[in-house]
Amino acid sequence: MPTDSPLRRPRWRSLLLLAALLTPLLWPLQQLAERYYSSELSEQNRQTLDLYVANLLGSLRRYEVLPPILGDLPALRGVLTHPQNLDAQVRANQLLEEVRGQTGADSIYLMDAAGTTLAASNWRQPDSFVGRNFAFRPYYREAVTGHLGRFFGLGTTSGKRGYYFAAAVKEGDTVIGALVVKVDLDTTETLWGKTPEQLLVTDSNGVVILTSRAEWRFRATRALSEQERLEIAANKPYPTLEPQLLKLRENAWIVQSRSLAETGWTVSILAPAEQVARPVQTAVAVGGATLLVLILLLGLMMQRRRHYLERIAIDARARRELEIRVLDRTRDLETLNTRLKNEVLEREHAQQELLRAQDELVQAGKLSALGTMSASISHELNQPLAAIRSYAENATVLLDHQRTDDARGNLKLIGELTGRMSSIIAHLRAFARRDRHAPESVALQPALDDALALLAKRRRAMDVELIRDLPDATLWVQAGETRLRQVLGNVLANALDALVEKAPPRRIWLSAVTDEQGVQLSIRDNGPGFSVDALKRAREPFFTTKTSAQGLGLGLAICETLMRALGGELQLANHPEGGAVLTLHLRAAAPGVNHHSSEDLSA
């Protein structure tokens, strides 16, 4: 057999050596696949966990306000003041039974100051709570001290899991009883479908109270301390006083958790580790097969290359003889042709680069404008939407209590806020078109009162004291009312945000002075103040010290832009006694005809 046989040409030994050298590349492929599929699974489980947490909190919060409201009903208070009146007891039982049917609560019952149940929604049932004493329950002890009682546990009568809300019923400053609402938690487990992922909700003791696996229920995820065991024995939240440890195989589950501060619970989702291992193995197998195919193709290419080089060598010899004959005659023409071709190629390349740069610049401008407008609309509409939701919830409660006049007032406020949202949207549209509205005379105090009213509920919830040092006479400034209210609303909202982590007392000072330059409005808080980096970058768009869920970092950037458009200035500083100070420098104006601006484009 000839030594140049085609069977020996591909040099299979070289290919095997190459395969041995390339095989270690599968390890980084495995690492990348694990990282990718782990990230995908983590994001999917995070979204699922967010949905379940939102549903769980929503199920609890809808009942949280019931105990204080029901405790003020005359029919229930009458039972506490006249416990021997049988007619009053029957009316109270019927009322609680009706409310329970309307709200969907598991049970509602009223206890006296000693913890004995006087009326209950299940008074007709054999396992009625009437006459039973629940003074040993933690929710009762918290309620009689004036706090909203919260507690998870099994019903001592029904044996069902539930979450209890309790509020004290007072006569003046004296606690005469407590009203309790029990929420059924069994339904929350039914929302979890038949999926490989498992649900786990643990309480402050680390004991599983909700789970998609029945055998995990009421097992401890960690060792219990002696104090925790004593509390379990006293409160009896579980069917057992000695919860057994939940033993899960190590590295068998991928766990993501979320803590619920208001309940002390931890919600976890456990995904089997094999959900990542299987696609990783598949990716490695596909990578190995691809590597094998590439090596085989390389062998065929080497064989074809040998034949191709042989043909090229024959053609090259013939072409070389021809080139020698015509070289002298064509040298000048080739030189000129080459130069012309290079010039044409350079011009075409420069034109293509110019067109590409123009297209990229136009697209970047579109994306920048779209991103800024979307972020601005989201930021500016957030506060009115929160106020509308608050007024709507209050109107529902007022209608339930047949306070139609007050409810009508809330609906009127909602109408005003929707008009204001339309004004904000129209203003942002005009701002995007580079429209310019000439500043006019605007009353400062009414605009400031409007911004404070929008944030009043949040301020009262945070127990923030407002200290005003404003002149009695109306201060008129050159501005647009809508823009001015935007600036004031954003600055006041930032002041409240700065006080979230601050321990009481929380204070905000408002003061205004006039000078030759115009009107200076100062807004100061006793929060942590600005850091050095925040003072330098606070006006930059999307710079924020908050989390992504708390803010976009556009508030001060928008305020800075609006103040410049109004011919004013926004200054940021730290107060010597602590906290931040934001000063708005506005140009003074002659008194106007009314307090409404022509910028209100909602009309």
How do residues 315-330 score in pLDDT, each as one tens digit? Answer: 888 888 888 887 877 7
In this prediction, residues 69-84 reach a mean pLDDT of 87
More confident residue, 601 or 486: 486
597 in any annotated domain: no
Taking each helix axis from N to C terminus, what angle separates 274-400 and 26-64, rounded to the nearest 10 degrees?
20
In this structure, the answer to whether residues 160 and 258 fall within a common structural domain is: no
In this structure, the answer to whether residues 575 and 505 fall within a common structural domain is: yes
pTM reported for the whole predicted model: 0.44
In this structure, the answer to whether residues 289 and 144 fall within a common structural domain is: no
Cα–Cα distances in angstroms (integers) from residue 60 to residues 55, 88, 164, 262, 514, in the given order:
9, 30, 9, 10, 51
> Per residue in 87-107, pLDDT tens?
889 999 999 999 999 988 889
Residue of 250, 180, 238 whose CA lies nearest to 210: 238
Model pLDDT, residue 370: 45
329 in any annotated domain: yes
562 in any annotated domain: yes
427 in any annotated domain: no
Residue 116 burial (CB count, 10 A): 17
601 in any annotated domain: no
- Decide which of 248, 272, 296 is a domain's last residue: 272
534 in any annotated domain: yes
In this structure, the answer to whether residues 133 and 242 fall within a common structural domain is: no
In this prediction, residues 496-504 reach a mean pLDDT of 86
Cβ-count burial 24-51 (b if 16+ within 10 Å, e if not) = eeeeebeeebbeebbeebeeebeebbee
- Decide which of 398, 428, 447 is a domain's last residue: 398
**DSSP code per residue over 13-28:** HHHHHHHHHHGGGHHH
Please name the residue that has the structure tokens 């990229």: 360
In this prediction, residues 174-184 reach a mean pLDDT of 91
Per DSSP, helices labelled H in 145-273 are 186-190, 226-235
426 in any annotated domain: no
Which regions of 131-264 does DSSP assign to beta strands (E)?
A: 149-154, 161-171, 174-184, 198-202, 208-211, 253-260
φ, ψ dihedrals at 154, nearest 5°: -85, 140
In this structure, the answer to whether residues 359 and 222 fall within a common structural domain is: no
The number of residues making up the chain comes to: 603
In this structure, the answer to whether residues 72 and 154 fall within a common structural domain is: yes
In this structure, the answer to whether residues 462 and 556 fall within a common structural domain is: yes
Q: How confident is the model at residue 588 (pLDDT cuts 50, 70, 90)?
A: confident
In this structure, the answer to whether residues 254 and 304 fall within a common structural domain is: no
- Decide which of 367, 398, 429 is a domain's last residue: 398
pLDDT above 50 for 425: yes
Please name the residue that has the structure tokens 């310019």: 436
Which regions of 292-438 does DSSP assign to beta strands (E)?
A: none
In this structure, the answer to whether residues 255 and 281 fall within a common structural domain is: no
Indicate which CATH number applies to the domain containing 111. Answer: 3.30.450.20
In this structure, the answer to whether residues 254 and 388 fall within a common structural domain is: no
Model pLDDT, residue 234: 80
Q: Which of 22-31, 108-117, 122-131, 512-521 has the lowest mean pLDDT?
A: 22-31
In this structure, the answer to whether residues 581 and 495 fall within a common structural domain is: yes
Q: Name the domain count of the chain.
A: 4
Indicate which CATH number applies to the domain containing 575. Answer: 3.30.565.10
Q: How confident is the model at residue 485 (pLDDT cuts 50, 70, 90)?
A: confident
In this structure, the answer to whether residues 445 and 557 fall within a common structural domain is: yes
Range of the domain at 119: 66-184
Strand partners, 522: 511, 583
Q: What is the C-alpha to C-alpha distance for residues 197 and 246, in angstroms, rounded to an integer?
A: 17
Q: Reduced to 3 states, what is the DSSP secondary structure of residue 351?
A: helix
In this prediction, residues 103-112 reach a mean pLDDT of 90
